[in-house]
Each structure stands twice: as structure tokens, then as C-alpha cells.
Amino acid sequence: MKSYILKRILSLIPVLLIVSIVVFMIIHLTPGDPAAVILGPEASHEDVKQLQEELGLNDPVYQQYFHWVEGVFQGNLGDSFFMDKPVTEAILEHLGPTISLAILSQITAILIALPLGIMAARKRGTATDQTFMGLSLLGISIPHFLFGLFLIIILAINLRWLPVAGYKPLSAGFWEHIKYLIMPAIALGTGQAALIARMTRSSMVETLNLNFIKTARSKGLHERKVIYKHTLRNAFIPILTVIGQTFGTLVAGAAVTETVFNIPGIGQLIINSVERRDYMVIQGTVLMVTLTYVLINLLVDLLYGVIDPRVRLKKES
Amino acid sequence: MEVAVEKRRELSDFRRDINRERRRLFVRRFFSNKLTVTGSVIILLTLLVTLLGPLLSSYTPYEMVVTSRLKAPSADHLFGTDNLGRDLFARVVYGARASMGVGLSVAIITSVLGMIIGLYSAYYKVLDHVLMRICDGLMAFPAILLAIALMAALGTKIDNVIIALAAVFTPYVARVVRSAALVVREQTYIEAMKAQGASSMRIIWGHIAPNTLSPLIVYSTFIFADAIIIEAGLSFLGVGVPAPDPSWGNILFDGKLVIFNAWWMTFFPGVAIILSVLGLNLFGDGLRDLLDPHTNHAKK
Amino acid sequence: MGDHLLEVNNLKTHFRTERGKVTAVDGISFHVDRGEVLAIVGESGCGKSVTAQSILRLFEEKGVTSYDGEINFEGKNLLKISDSEMRKIRGNDISMIFQDPLSSLNPVFTIGDQIMEPIMLHQKLSKKEAYERAIEMLKLIGIPAPEQRVHEYPHQISGGMRQRVMIAIALACQPKLLIADEPTTALDVTIQSQILELIDSLRQKLDMGIMLITHDLGVVAQHCTRVAVMYLGEVVEEGDVESLFENPLHPYTQGLISSIPQLFGNRNKKLSIIKGMVPSLNEIPKGCRFAPRCPFADAKCMNEKPELETLDHNKRIKCWHHQTIKGAVSNAT
């Protein structure tokens, strides 16, 4: 297990290297001088010069890169030019809503996906199975921001059940907090649910055809136990992988959904910064979200060992 | 002599029969799957609308009529009008060009690039290490986030949307091609060809490449669909196809501002997106089942 | 009649497939008594395994599988009882072991867990008592250091050990009938005989009936009391082991026996093979199912279906010409 963890962590090094280079390059890919682009067309020549100096744009590119990476390791993502504060601070301010939304969406997704996927697998080939899988294909085909817009028209504008948009922090009370997140969570969770449900079904179907399921049945176990104990546990690794991946995309997908519902999260911070050409913030947030995504996937890989003894005990036997 | 010729003819007849039988079976199985057929019909209709767009509407998508702003759907304006008094039907139909155009271009570009990268990494071990690490790095970004970041860097322009999405999706295609190519590469006959001195060019493009085509076609259908979704997302956020050119995403962007009094501005472009993406997904799913019945049925 | 442990009457198992209904087991009858070993022999695809799994109703996919006939076990027709009654019999009164022990054990649970599962389920023992039973079982089947083994996972032990563990699971509740579906096919030859010896000794200890499914006639000759030979979903011949080997009546049985290589005796004698291939279940011959491959077949065989006739000495045979064939074979040898 130890060597498995170590190997997995070491494999992250090249990935992180590429990620950091790509993120660093964002500012340098812009056509024209970054400092001039940041300041806009009305800026004076002196201002541009000064900003170039501040951002270290006159150094050779590799030096700028090392300088930037050094900063990242010290938790310094630079300063937001527009907001006049450190990027880390801006990120922390916007973190709460995104985390709430991502967790709520993930819970929604899993609560929809697992029962439907398992049911479809148990009734494979029947009308129920085909209906569920048809629905899941529809779920994959609807962009979540679009689903969000439809939900607003139906649930908020026509039925007036829920507030159209906005956000209340948890400190405003649990229900207030949740009320504003229900639609975004459904919008974001449904598409992920479709992906998880499809993987659950196919993984369960594959496992149900394995011989040890026959053994479990021949012991006299109830079908419930065959499904939930013997099949699910074995089918869970691919399901968990998809859950991990969708959780990562949730954090990013929240960017668009937050715009739909005016939620002041990381997504909104990125989009606003793109409009303001606040490159330091774009770099910082893209880096942080991607790191989160990478770490979640790492965590999932490490969980394989917990689920499957063949992974855990590989090196010892 | 006579007999040998006869034999050879028999053999080639036999081969032709087998191929014909295979094609017949493929066509029959294709049409026996209702979902696949539905998907193809939807795609064909969407492509038709995209190409024939100008003939379908008497309005242009840019003509603003201040007096007829935000009119609900009627016989005059089939889908209603938008906040600037432009005919929404014309905008959705013309928007298909941007949305489907981006989707198709991205699918084609990623297929070509992905195929080259995938084939050469499968063939050359050293190249493989370098290219695959780069792919892993790019795949570590959530797709939409990388697209936003690249658009922020490149600037909002439809060409840049295509470039950004091609950069986002090429690594995934390269992975698919590479794994299909690796299977072929391990076959004994490839070793035999090498021993006989066949050029690597001929082995790669003549023998390995054809075997990667069916997974590639299936996968690029899904890329087509995903590119439509992400383009819509980018344009909806205001970092995709810039105004005044219509795309389904930026019509939604306009529609969001007036969502309280003009549901049609969200509904019609929304349905256009769902239909085209659903059509592609249905088609891709069916195609995969036909070409390779053993793969996982979950998407990707 | 009712004194057999297991009595199968005219059992049919149908599957609904894309190409229509397929009858994998077509009207077979046999019985197993306490303490005896019945072998079911035949080529792969003849319906042996389907028969075995039908007895425990392991094909439960509704709308796909259907059964006809009777499976009487201790006077109860297993095809008529409810699902919950059936579950009380599975693993408790009737147990089963399968061909490939690695894939038949659940990879994510320890050996101990898997042995304890039926014990806790059927005998309502506490976890601790079940654990002690599991250790006892491991000792019984001859696994060294059982206290350590219970905590190990299937992939950590050898193939022979795994099959022993399967046997321990199957016998944990001391069943009255054990169905062993090709239990040694996936194992090394040296391990094979150990496993069969073990099953045999446990049969004597526990006085169970065994239904041994195999294609290995050597195994049959050594370990079984009676044999039923299956061909294409039907029983074509049944009888005591001695009489079957010494005096096979059905041309198919004769073919099977003469295709065993002889270690002693006339080594120059050519091994005979049965011509042709087993036809698929979609294209079952109209008359006798073996007729297309049978050296003795005539027009009658091609067109009319023979019935299973009962002869003396518990012998049953399904062949139009068994009397003439008997003479022909004994003359030839």
C-alpha cells in the first residue's frame, strides 16, 4: 500500500509541472503586451512601464516562471490588480459558496444516480432499464447552466417556489442558505447524476455476470444482499472514479452555474476577472481549482486500496 | 495454372461476399436500433438547417426593429423577437452556424491532431513519455476551466473558441487513439513487418492507423457534442462567440437579462442545443455498440 | 418413489434469447440418493451446468428463464416453492461448488467472511460462533494455520486452497446434497485427485448425496456410483458405473469411453473420435439428437425421436438400436 501511495504521488509531479506551465502561460499568450492589456487602451506609457516593472515582465520568461512558482510554494499567488488585494484573499472570500454548492450538488447527484443505476442494472434489458438510460442520455445532453435557466423559468418565475437567484451564507440560517442553493444544486447535480448512473449501471451489470455472484446466490443470500454487499462493493471502483471526476468538474462547472444564479463563488470570481483582465486572479483561481481537482482524483485513487484488497496487498504478498 | 486462377477468383469472390455480407449486416443493425436512427435524423436535420439557414427565414439575424422588441412567438415571428427587436428564429437558425460550426471544426481538428499524436506516441516509446505527460497535464484541468482560461488569454473571437476547444479536447482523443494503436502494435505481424524492413511510415499509416478509426469516429462524435456544450457555456459567459454574431450560447446570454418577461429567448436556443447534443450522443452511443459491442456503456 | 434425496422429473429449462426460445435442458430425469455420487457426463454445451444451476434455481432473471417439470427434494418440488423458501434451501440443504475457484470467490472479502456468511445466515449463529465454525471447517478441509488463513483474501492463496475454501463454504451448513460443477477442471492434475479424495471422504463423514458434473470419465470411474450421460440437453444413458464402462449401450457413450487414452493394454489401438461437432441448440435434429454424428444411424433415427427406456439393473437408454449395437460392439472387440 505504501509503495502504491508513493507511486501515485510521484506520478503527480509531471502533471503539476505541465499544469503550472500552462497556468503561467495564460498571461503570456495574450496578444500584445500584458501590462498594456491589463491597464486598457487609455493607460499612459509611464503606467504601463511601471506595471511591467511590478510584474517583472522585463525578466526572461523562465525567470518569471521560477519566480512565480516560488511564490506559489509560499502561498503567494500575487495581487489582484483590480481589487487591490492578494489573490489568495480574494479566493478565500469566494470559497464558501462554491464549496456549499459543490457538496450539495454532489449529494444530489449521488442520491439520484446510485439507486437509478443499480435499479437499471438489476432490470437490465427491460423497459425500466431503457427508460432510465434514455433519461440519463438526456441528462448528459443538457448543459447544466441551461437546465438552471429552465429551472428558473419554471420553479422561480412561474411557480414562485424558490428565489430566482442570489445567495445567503450559512450564517443567515440553514434553510435560507439551502433555499438559494436548491436550484443550482439540481441544475449542476443532474448532469453529473447521469454520468454516475451510467457508470453504476455498466459496472454493476459487468459484476453481476461474474462467477462469485452465483456463489453468493447459491449460499441462499437474499437478492438485496447479493446486490448491495457482493456486487456493489466490487463494482464500486469505476463508480468512485466517476464520482471523483464529476466532483472535480463540479467545482469548475460551478463557474457557469454561479453566473446563472448570481452566486458570489469562485466561478463568478473567474468570470469577473476575465472581464476585468485581472490576470493574476485568473491564474490563481485556475491553479487552485485544478489543484483541487487533481487532489480529489488522487484521494479517489487512494480509496481504491480501501475498497479492493488486491490493490492494498499487491506488494506485500 | 487454370486451377490456380480459378482458385484465386473463388477466393476473391468469397472475400467480396463476406464484405458485402458484413456491410449488409452493419446497415441492418444500424437501422434496427431506433435510438441510433433517431440520433442520425436529428443530426441530419440540424445540419440541413445550418446549411439552408438563410432560405428558411425572411428576416436577417442582425436587423433591429425597435418597435417590435420582445414580441412573443407569433405567425409573424415564429420564435418571437429578442430585446433588440431582432427575429429570434433567424438568430437561432444562423446561430446553428456558429454552434454546429465550432462543434464540427473542433471534432475534425482534434481527430487529426489526436490521431497523429496518438499514433506516434504508440509507436515511439520515448516520444510517448513526453507527449503523454503533456496530455496528462492538460487533462488535469477541468475542461470548461481550461477553455475559459484560454479564452481569457486569446481574446473572444470565434476562431479562438475553436483553438481553445481543440487544445482542451485533443489530449483525450490522443489517448483513445494511442490505446487502440498500442493493441495493434503488439500484434506479431507488425513485428514481422519490421523485421522485413517495412518503413515505419508504412506501418503506422498503412497498418496501425486503420485499426484506430472506429474508436476515433465514435469518440469524435462525443467531442462534437461536448464542444457544442462548452461553446454554448463560453458564449453564455460572454467569453465565446462575440456579439452581434448569433450563437446559441450568446442568445442565452441575452435571454438571461430578460428571463422574467421573455421565456422564448431561453427556450428556443436551449432546445436547439439539447436536440443537437442529444442527437450526437444517441448517434455516438449506437455507433459504439455497433462497432465495438464490448466497451463500457457509460460515456467516456 | 419418494425415498430419493433428489428426484428430477422431466426437467426443462428454457432461455429466451435474441434468436427466440432455446431449451438448454430438455426433459431430463434422474435421481440422487443419500451417500451416493451421481456423475453427470457430457461434452461442453450439453446442458450439464444448466441442469446443476436449475436445481438451485440460480437462473432467476424473470422473463428470460423458465422451468418445466419437477425437482423433488425431500418431497418438496423446488420449482413450486417461494423464493424465500428456496433461499432457505440454498447453501443449507443443497450447496454448490463451481469450476473456477478464483472467480467464484468474492475478491473483496476475506476467506473467513465468506465461510461465515452461510453459517450466520442459516444457522443463526453469532459472529463469534460462526468464526469458530469457520476455523473448524478450514481444519476439516485440511488447510494449515486456519487462524491466519481466515483473515486472508482469495488472491493470496493457491488454486487448490481456493477450491478447498469453496468446499468449506459449501459444506459449512452440512448440506444433504452437494452439487459439484466441474470442481477440478481448473486445477493442476496433482491437486485434482486431492480435492476429489477430500470430497469423497467428506461425503462419507457427512452422509451427503453428491451430484458431480464432469467431462472427465477417469474421475467418474474412480469416484462415482452411478452415471448419467447427457447429450444436447437430454439424458441418453444412465446406469451404474461398472455396467456403463463395461457395457456401454449408447453409441455416444461408447464414443466417449473409447476416446479415453489407455495407459495399459493395446497402445497401438487408434483412439476413436466422435465425428462432427455438437450442433447448436437452435438447430436440434428432428429425430434422435445424436443421429447426425452416429455411425449406426439409419432413416428411423433421423426422423423419429427415441424414448428413454428402462432396462434391468437400473439401466436406462435412449437409442433405437441399442440391442443390435450391443451385439455389434461385443463382436468387434
* C63 inside 8 A of chain A by CB: yes
pLDDT bin (cut points 50, 70, 90) of residue C327 is: low
Phi and psi angles of residue B198, each rounded to the nearest 5 degrees, phi first? -65, 145
Superfamily of chain region B105-289? MetI-like (1.10.3720.10)
Neighbours of B63 (CB within 10 A): 11
> Coil, strand, or helix at residue A20?
helix
pLDDT of residue B298: 37
Question: How many Cα atoms sit within 13 Å of B270 on the Cβ side?
Answer: 22
pLDDT (tens digit per residue) in A36-47: 777 777 778 888
> What is the model's pLDDT at position B111?
96
Q: What is the pLDDT of residue B4?
A: 63
- C58 to A218: CB separation less than 8 angstroms, yes or no: yes
Least confident of A48-62, B150-164, C31-45, C163-177: A48-62
Nearest to B281 among A27, A140, A270 (CB): A140
Give the strand pairing for C20-32 and A79-80: unpaired
- Name the pLDDT band for C112 (thresholds 50, 70, 90): very high
pLDDT over 70 (residue B126): yes
Collect all residues of chain C within an 8 Å Cβ-Cβ radius of residue A233. 108-109
CA distance A122 to chain C (A): 9
Q: Which three cell numbers stand for residue A297?
A: 482524483
pLDDT band at B28 (very low <50, low <70, confident <90, very high): confident
Place of cell 481553445: B164
Provide the phi-psi class of A65: left if phi over 0, else alpha when psi is between -120 and 50, else beta: alpha
Q: Which three cell numbers stand for residue A178?
A: 439551502
**Would you place residue B171 in the very low, low, confident or very high pLDDT band (cuts 50, 70, 90)?**
very high
Q: Rounded distance, CA B146 to CA A293, Å? A: 12
Chain C CB contacts of A220 under 8 Å are 87-92, 118, 121-122
Question: What does the pLDDT look like over A125-171, one tens digit per residue?
Answer: 788 888 888 889 899 899 988 999 999 888 878 788 888 777 888 78
In chain A, which among 187-226 make CB contacts under 8 A with chain B? 195, 198-199, 201-203, 205-206
C199 neighbors C210 (Cβ within 8 angstroms): yes
Instruction: Give the type of residue at C102.
Output: L
pLDDT digits (tens, 9 = 90+) for B31-81: 777 778 888 999 999 888 888 877 777 777 777 677 777 777 777 767 777
- Is the pLDDT at B1 greater than 90? The verdict is no
Lowest mean per-residue pLDDT among A36-45, B115-124, C112-121, C300-309: A36-45
- For C188-223, how does the pLDDT look when each residue is reduced to its tens digit (9 = 90+)? 888 888 888 888 888 888 889 999 998 888 888 888
pLDDT of residue C329 exceeding 70: no
Say how far apart CA B241 and CA A185 lie, in whole Å.
Answer: 27
Which CATH number is A91-316's, of 1.10.10.10, 3.40.640.10, 1.10.3720.10, 1.10.1740.110?
A: 1.10.3720.10
> Whole-angstrom Cα distance, residue C239 to residue C229?
9
- Better pLDDT: B265 or B233: B233
Which residue intervals of chain C are DSSP H helices? 48-55, 83-89, 101-104, 111-122, 127-140, 146-149, 159-171, 189-206, 217-223, 241-246, 251-258, 299-303, 322-332
Whether chains B and A touch (3+ CB pairs under 8 A) is answered by yes
Query: What is the residue-averaged pLDDT of chain C?
Result: 84
Q: How confident is the model at residue C39 (pLDDT cuts 50, 70, 90)?
A: very high
Cell output for C224: 462415482
**Residue C210 in contact with partner chain A when CB distance is under 8 A:** no
The helices-and-strands tally (H runs, E runs) of chain C is: 13, 12
For residues C240 and C226, the answer to whether their CB atoms sit within 8 Å is yes
What's the mean per-residue pLDDT of chain A?
85
CB atoms within 10 A of CB C202: 20
Section B205-219 average pLDDT:
89
Query: Is A307 exposed, middle or buried (CB count within 10 Å of its CB: 0-12, 13-18, 19+)?
Result: middle
Chains that touch A (3 or more CB pairs under 8 A): B, C
Question: Tell me, what's the pLDDT at C266?
Answer: 59
Mean pLDDT of C273-291: 77
User: Is A192 in contact with A250 (CB distance < 8 Å)?
Assistant: yes
Assigned fold of C6-224: Rossmann fold (3.40.50)
Name the residue ranges covered by the structural domains of chain C: 6-224, 230-317
The nearest alpha carbon in chain B to A142 belongs to B274
What CA–CA distances, in Å, run from A317 to A308, C151, C153? Answer: 14, 13, 11
- Read off the amino acid at residue B189: Y
Q: What is the 3-state secondary structure (H, E, C) of chain B?
A: CHHHHHHHHHHHHHHHHHHHHHHHHHHHHHHHCHHHHHHHHHHHHHHHHHHHHHHHCCCCCCCCCHHHCCCCCCCCCCCCECCCCCEHHHHHHHHHHHHHHHHHHHHHHHHHHHHHHHHHHHHCHHHHHHHHHHHHHHHCCCHHHHHHHHHHHHCCCHHHHHHHHHHHHHHHHHHHHHHHHHHHHCCHHHHHHHHCCCCHHHHHHHHHHHHHHHHHHHHHHHHHHHHHHHHHHHHHHCCCCCCCCCCHHHHHHHHHHCCCCCCHHHHHHHHHHHHHHHHHHHHHHHHHHHHCCCCCCCCC
Confidence (pLDDT) at C263? 60
Check residue B220 and give its pLDDT. 93
Rounded distance between C-alpha atoms, residue A271 and residue B148, angstroms: 8
**Which of B128, B148, B258, B288 to substitute to test the interface with A, most A CBs within 10 Å?**
B148
Q: Where are the alpha helices (DSSP H) in chain A?
A: 2-10, 12-29, 34-39, 45-55, 61-73, 87-122, 127-141, 144-151, 174-208, 211-218, 223-225, 232-261, 266-276, 279-307, 309-312
pLDDT tens, per residue, chain A with 317 residues? 677 788 888 888 999 999 999 998 888 777 777 777 777 777 788 888 887 777 777 778 888 888 888 888 888 888 887 788 898 889 999 988 998 898 999 999 999 999 999 999 988 878 888 888 888 989 989 998 899 999 988 887 878 888 877 788 878 888 888 888 889 999 999 989 999 999 999 999 999 888 899 999 999 899 889 999 999 989 988 898 888 888 877 877 777 888 888 889 898 899 888 888 888 888 899 999 899 888 888 888 888 888 888 877 764 43
Judged against a pLDDT cut of 60, whether residue C142 lies above it is answered with: yes
Within its chain, how far is the Cα of A276 from the centroid?
24
Q: Which pLDDT value is given to residue C96?
A: 92
Residue C242 makes CB contacts below 8 A (sequence gap 6+) with none
Strand-pairing partners, residue B119, are none
Among C28, C3, C25, residue whose Cα is nearest residue C14: C25
Question: What does the DSSP assignment read for C108-152?
Answer: TS-HHHHHHHHHHHHS---HHHHHHHHHHHHHHTT-SSHHHHTTS
State residue C164's pLDDT score.
87
Instruction: Give residues 110 to 129 of A whose Cβ lies within 8 Å of C.
Output: 125-126
Model pLDDT, residue C262? 63
Q: Residue B221 — very low, low, confident or very high, per pLDDT cuts 50/70/90?
A: very high
What pLDDT is stored for residue B227 in this prediction?
94
pLDDT at position B10 over 80:
no
- pLDDT of B73 reads 77
Distances from the Cα of C123 to the Cα of B61, C119, C130, C140, C166, angstroms: 77, 5, 9, 18, 18
Q: How many residues does chain C have?
A: 333
Write the DSSP symbol of residue A172.
G
* Cβ count near C75 (within 10 Å): 9
Domain ranges of chain B: 105-289
Give me the long-range contacts of C218-222 (CB less than 8 A, separation at least 24).
C218/C260, C219/C39, C219/C184, C219/C192, C220/C39, C220/C41, C221/C245, C222/C196
Contact C179, C211 (CB under 8 A): yes
Distance from CA of A169 to the nearest CA of B (A): 24
How sure is the predictor about B110, in pLDDT bands with cuts at 50, 70 and 90? Answer: very high
CA C227/CA C242 separation, integer angstroms: 10
Cell (9 digits) for A175: 434553510
3-state secondary structure of A214: helix
What confidence score (pLDDT) does residue C273 get?
67
Lowest mean pLDDT among A14-28, A61-75, B219-233, C304-318: C304-318
* pLDDT mean over B219-227: 93
| pLDDT of C333 higher than 50 | no
Exposed e or buried b per residue across C19-54, where buried means at least 16 C-beta atoms within 10 angstroms of its C-beta: eeebbbbbebbbbbeeebbbbbbbeebbbbbbbbbb
High-pLDDT (> 90) share of chain A, %: 21
- Asked if A156 has any chain B CB less than 8 Å from its own CB, the reply is no
Give me the pLDDT at residue C106, please: 92
Establish whether chain C is in contact with chain B, requiring a minimum of 3 CB pairs below 8 angstroms: no
User: Is A217 in contact with C118 (Cβ distance < 8 A)?
Assistant: no
CA distance A246 to C323: 72
The DSSP call for residue A226 is I
Of A210, A219, A313, the CB nearest to C90: A219
- Phi, psi at A86, each rounded to 5°: -60, 145
Give the confidence band of C326 by pLDDT, cuts at 50, 70, 90.
low
Tell the residue number behind the cell numbers 480459378, with chain if given: B6
Interface contact C107-A219, CB threshold 8 A = no
